[in-house]
Amino acid sequence: MLEQITVGIDVSKDRLDVHLRPTCEAFAVPRDGAGLAILCDRLKGLAPTLVALEATGGYETVVAAALAGAGLPVVVVNPAQVRSFARALGKRAKTDPIDAAVIAHFAEATAPEVRPLADEATQILADLVARRRQIVEMMGSERQRLRRMTLPRVRRSIERLICALEKELADLDHDIDDAVRGSPAWREAEDLLSSVPGVGPVVSRSLLAELPELGTLDRKKIAALAGLAPFTRQSGAWKGRSFIAGGRTAVRTVLFMAALVAARHNPVLKAFYGRLLQAGKPKMLALLAVARRLLVILNAILRDKRPWQSA
């Protein structure tokens, strides 16, 4: 029986540290075109079952794309989960080669599912949507400062900055609109998603950009991917409250905001929300349940390519 090889890669600005399990072979290559070519050629000769690297704020994107383009089974793993795994192993030291070894061990032990990477157009849309989110956050911070500031000179400065941010937000919205409406597939998907009361352009485009798996997974997997699947806490006769964790924070946030609107204006979800409140559920818990139900509905709509039907 051939030995199954799992690869862990620690990505830094200038270098890629690589660790193979179970052979414990380790090497490093530069994080540039030549280094990626060497890495892909070497790994293709080994035929690994899994190649794992951490999400590192964007440095991993080109690496993952190069590995996937070479036909390797690449997966981008959650850094928080890897750190927790390292603590469980008692790994206190932290260097790039050690991190690569921990990533390989984590991938070997958990066997995360390999999913297709976003194509170039989806990545561009995701970057635009992420920038829009950053601009909105900056505008919120400046408006908070404006409410607290009394000095006229500083107030005028804040107002000028808010005006500039509003113009930048309008430009980004125009770019996002061009990207979505210029693609027949995305245009159809957006129209399907927007047919649901409570789902507007911001929500639908955020989901297209940051949850491209929508419509391709079952209800449990899509809820877990968005961080809306409840986790049970129970030990013996004791049973604690379920909680949600992990997943894609930006997706969960936009779905929660959509749930606030849907709980008031979507007849089906409004009735669902009301039943939860009548059953004694706290408002926050009820809204999270609405967000999860909304996600399941949107997943089914894209899967079946059928618009919203209130019945």
Please say which residue of 182, 212, 227 terminates a domain: 182
Averaged confidence pLDDT in the chain? 87
- Per-residue model confidence as pLDDT tens digits over 24-65: 899 999 988 888 889 999 998 888 999 999 887 777 888 888
Handedness of CA 65, 57, 215, 186 (dihedral sign): negative
Per the domain annotation, does 288 fall within a domain?
Answer: yes
Residues 200 and 178 in one domain: no
d(CA 196, CA 301): 9
Residues 203 and 159 in one domain: no
pTM of the model: 0.70
Per the domain annotation, does 264 fall within a domain?
Answer: yes
- Per-residue model confidence as pLDDT tens digits over 109-155: 988 888 777 777 888 888 899 899 999 999 999 999 999 999 999 99
Neighbours of 207 (CB within 10 A): 26
Residues 82 and 56 in one domain: yes
Count of structural domains within the chain: 3
Residues 34 and 136 in one domain: no
Residues 215 and 146 in one domain: no
Q: Which helix (H) or strand (E) holds 193?
A: helix 184-194
**Is 198 within 8 Å of 266 (Cβ atoms)?**
yes
Which of left, alpha, beta for 3 (phi over 0: left; psi -120 to 50: alpha)? beta
Please say which residue of 128, 151, 182 terminates a domain: 182
Q: Which domain holds residue 123?
A: 119-182
Q: Is the pLDDT of residue 239 over 60?
A: no
Confidence tier at 232 by pLDDT (50, 70, 90): low
d(CA 301, CA 215): 7
Residues 35 and 62 in one domain: yes
Look-up of token digits 């992420």: 130
Residues 97 and 136 in one domain: no
Per the domain annotation, does 253 fall within a domain?
Answer: yes
Per the domain annotation, does 188 fall within a domain?
Answer: no
d(CA 58, CA 211): 17
Per the domain annotation, does 187 fall within a domain?
Answer: no
Please say which residue of 50, 85, 110 terminates a domain: 110
Per the domain annotation, does 190 fall within a domain?
Answer: no
Amino acid 275: pLDDT: 95
